[in-house]
Amino acid sequence: MSRTRIKICGLTREADVLAAVQAGADAIGFVFYPKSPRYVSPARAAELARLLPPFVTPVGLFVNASAAELDAALQALPNMLLQFHGDETPAECERAGRPYLRAARMGEGFDLLNFAAQYSSAQAILLDAHVEGYGGGGKVFDWSLIPKNVPSPVVLSGGLHAGNVLTGILQVRPTAVDVSSGVEEAKGLKSAVLIRQFCAAVRQADAQPELPA
């Protein structure tokens, strides 16, 4: 089995960026949604992104941002991967011409296959629980709702932490996992210990032998 990629999202402090990099994160998320307690301005995100070594990807998270807001963030961080977590249409996700992740809000009756077909230009579909306020709520959704034949790479997210990520990886076999609340001591303030434990649990899952389907 190949290595499950790790994204740690909602960083606001230098020490948290360094802790994530040291623990082996592949991507670091900056929340550009002003209503989030994890919001950072484009200038602040650019400052934090300067700490990233090569091959660790900065990701910008947007919720129904205007074209001007998206452009301002891209001016500060031109090489970031985009994550659309609101009600953006495929055309809005594609407008900047950058690779993007599209968040799906998983709940009973949600048609993930149809959603993934609509966003076929996405680099991956990020599966999050349907929560009020769009995301970052630390809520796990029912992983059995995920069909086996999603046509895009899948990022598993929503309420992950060191105690459940191994089971999530073995059950869903995602390309990557994404965590925010599960590695926090308070909203927007990460814990180096929880980040380390989370990354270690992902590596433990990757080391499990793959069972025949």
Q: Helix/strand/coil (H, E, C) string of the chain?
A: CCCCEEEEECCCCHHHHHHHHHHCCCEEEEECCCCCCCECCHHHHHHHHCCCCCCCEEEEEECCCCHHHHHHHHHHCCCCEEEECCCCCHHHHHCCCCCEEEEEEECCCCCHHHHHHHCCCCCEEEEEECCCCCCCCCCCCCHHHCCCCCCCCEEECCCCCCCCHHHHHHHHCCCEEEECHHHEEECCEECHHHHHHHHHHHHHHHCCCCCCC
Q: What CA–CA distances, in Å, run from 15 to 10, 26, 48?
A: 13, 16, 10
Is 146 near ligand LGQLAAA5 (CB under 6 A)?
no
Tell me if 60 contacts ligand LGQLAAA5 by CB under 6 A: no
- Asked if 80 interacts with ligand LGQLAAA5 (CB under 6 A), we say no
5 binds ligand LGQLAAA5 (CB under 6 A): no
The CB-of-209 to ligand LGQLAAA5 minimum distance in angstroms stands at 28
Under the binding rule (CB under 6 A), the answer on residue 160 touching ligand LGQLAAA5 is: yes
The β-bridge partners of 129 are: 106
| Contact residue for ligand LGQLAAA5 among 51, 56, 74, 137 (CB under 6 A) | 137
Per CB under 6 A, 153 contacts ligand LGQLAAA5 = no
Site string for ligand LGQLAAA5, 171-200 (x = CB under 6 A): -------xxxxx------------------
Q: Considering only the stretches 16-24, 110-118, 128-136, 201-209, report the one whose residues sit in contact with ligand LGQLAAA5 under the rule CB under 6 A.
A: 128-136
Residue pair 61/83 in contact (Cβ under 8 Å)? The answer is yes
Q: State which of residues 4, 12, 123, 157 lies at the interface with ligand LGQLAAA5 (CB under 6 A).
A: 157
- Judge whether 206 counts as a catalytic residue: no
Closest distance to ligand LGQLAAA5 from the beta carbon of 102 (Å): 11
Task: Name the site residues for ligand LGQLAAA5 (rule: CB under 6 A).
Answer: 9-10, 29, 31, 33, 36, 38, 61, 63, 85, 126, 128, 134-138, 157-160, 178-182
Instruction: Point out the residues that are catalytic.
Output: 9, 128
